[in-house]
Amino acid sequence: NYTALFQLAKLQLYKKEPSVIVTDTHRLLSELKLLYEKSTDIILRYRAAYYLGLLYLQEESEQYNKAIGIEYLLLVAEAEIGSESASALFRLAKIQLREESNKSLIEPNKLIVALKRLNENPTEAERSLNYHCRSAYYLGLLYLQEQSVQYSKADGINYLWLAAKAEVGSESAFALFQLAKLRLKDDKNIESSFIDRNKLIVCLNTLYESPAENEQNLHHHAQAAYYLGLFYLQEGSALYSPLKAIQYLWEASGDSLSEQSNPFALFKLVQLYLYSEDNAIVTNINSDKLVALLNTLSNKAEEDELRMQALYLTALLHLKTDSKHYNIDIALSLLNPLADNGYTSAQASL
């Protein structure tokens, strides 16, 4: 029963707890290999190869073997058999983006050629699944890898715009956020001048105002608000409006710091409150709310870096002498453990 076999592979791959054993992995691999080697049905063969590739790429598993996993995914990607081929291609692109160019097991030029085919000449089925947009997103990121041979900022930005303008799927939103990062990174750099800031603002506003129908949309809403806030904080630009920026950053932070919120928006608000010399900015930031949200984040954050950043910024709020939260004892009780754990900013503050 091939359907059951593929379902077992999915359960093993997408289980919530990595330590939970869904099935006998060695037997699963053997059955999938047998199907790949013996089946005369090309779709079944490459579907088996696709799951073999993903299973071998599970880093927490005993069977982890990056080279074999990539080899299987390359076979599937080159077969051009539909959704599995496209999914294999996108997975290979993700791997390539994390690799150091001189250690990569993937030939980047071959990857780019395959992604371009999917972007420029998608079948009707591939277009209906938005693969042309997703391939544009990954092409954009690959061309923006500064250490790679294929680096081309112009091509990278052009492909990201193609993905962003599609306004469909997560990759479209991610492409827009990547363009916003590039435009904000160095506003005076001539290389970034061909990213139209006004066009970005329009696109971010469209995404920000789109209905929040699900968790994904809520996350995109928060991200769009965050980048809008940063653009409105750019001093010297025609957009500069710190009070409007603060509104967007509060929106991005959220009141409950859910998974859809952006903790970096909260950190930005804290920095503004601590270091801004503009009294209008400081008085428009509710310090009680900052302390409450930082406490929530330090208790809820799964990532150590976020948790420590929240604790550190809480300490700084308690060190602000003209604030009602000024309390040197509380600040030291937060800074000392952070410093002992090697958090350099806390060490410097002490």
What DSSP assignment string belongs to 17-65? STT---S-HHHHHHHHHHHHHH-S-HHHHHHHHHHHHHHHT-TTSTT--
Tell me how many degrees the CA angle 307-312-318 measures, rounded to the nearest 5: 130
State pLDDT tens for residues 31-83. 999 999 999 999 999 999 999 999 999 988 889 999 999 999 999 999 988 88
Question: CA 228 to CA 153: how far, in whole Å?
Answer: 23
Place of tokens 């309390």: 327
Contacts of 127 (CB under 8 A, 6+ apart): none
> Residue 15: is its pLDDT beyond 80?
no
> Residue 22: is its pLDDT beyond 70?
no
**pLDDT band at residue 237, thresholds of 50, 70 and 90?**
confident
pLDDT at 20 (0 to 100): 55
pLDDT at 19 (0 to 100): 57
Beta strands in the chain (DSSP E): none
Contacts of 334 (CB under 8 A, 6+ apart): 311, 312, 314, 315, 318, 346
Highest mean pLDDT among 10-24, 248-262, 288-302: 288-302
Helix (H) or strand (E) holding 182: helix 169-185
Percentage of the chain with pLDDT > 90?
65
pTM of the model: 0.88
pLDDT at 160 (0 to 100): 96
pLDDT at 187 (0 to 100): 66
